[in-house]
Amino acid sequence: MSRWQQVSYAVDGGVATLTLDRPDRRNAYTAVMARELAEVAAVADADDAVRVLVVTGAGRDFCVGADLEGASTFDRSAQAADAGTIGGVARDWGGIGALPFAALRKPVIAAVRGAAVGIGATMTLPMDIRIASDTARFGFVFARRGIVPEAASSWFLPRVVGISQAMEWVATGRVFGAEEALRGRLVSRVVPDGELLDTAYGIAHEIADHTSGVSVATSRQLLWSMLSAPSPWDAHRAESRALVELGSGPDAAEGVASFLEKRPADFRAPLDGVGLGWPAPPDDLV
The runs of H, that is alpha helices, within the chain are 31-46, 80-83, 93-103, 119-122, 153-161, 163-172, 178-183, 196-210, 213-225, 232-247, 250-260
Q: Which residues contact 101 (CB under 8 A, 6 or more apart)?
A: 37, 41, 55, 108, 123, 126, 127
Per-residue pLDDT tens over the stretch 209-218: 999 999 999 9
pLDDT at 272: 84
Instruction: Give yes or no for residue 263 having a pLDDT over 70.
Output: yes
pLDDT band at residue 277 under the 50/70/90 scheme: confident
pLDDT at 75: 60
Per-residue pLDDT tens over the stretch 108-137: 999 999 999 999 999 999 999 999 999 999
Instruction: Give yes or no for residue 77 having a pLDDT over 70.
Output: no
Per-residue pLDDT tens over the stretch 88-106: 999 999 999 999 999 999 9
pLDDT at 280: 87
Q: Which amino acid is at 283?
A: D
Return the biggest CA–CA distance within the chain: 66
More confident residue, 157 or 82: 157
Average pLDDT of the segment spanning 217-222: 95
Spans of all domains in the chain: 7-207, 212-286
pLDDT band at residue 74 under the 50/70/90 scheme: low
CA distance 130 to 120: 12
pLDDT at 80: 47
Average pLDDT of the segment spanning 183-204: 98
Per-residue pLDDT tens over the stretch 58-67: 999 999 999 9
Confirm or reject CATH 3.40.50.1820 for domain 7-207, answering yes or no.
Answer: no
CA distance 34 to 49: 24
Which class in CATH covers the domain with range 212-286? Answer: mainly alpha
By the 8 A CB rule, do 101 and 130 touch? no
pLDDT at 273: 75
Share of the chain above pLDDT 70, in %: 95
Instruction: Give yes or no for residue 71 having a pLDDT over 50.
Output: no
40: nearest Cα among 126, 101, 111, 122: 101
pLDDT band at residue 81 under the 50/70/90 scheme: low
Q: Which residues contact 124 (CB under 8 A, 6 or more apart)?
A: 55, 62, 110, 112, 116, 130
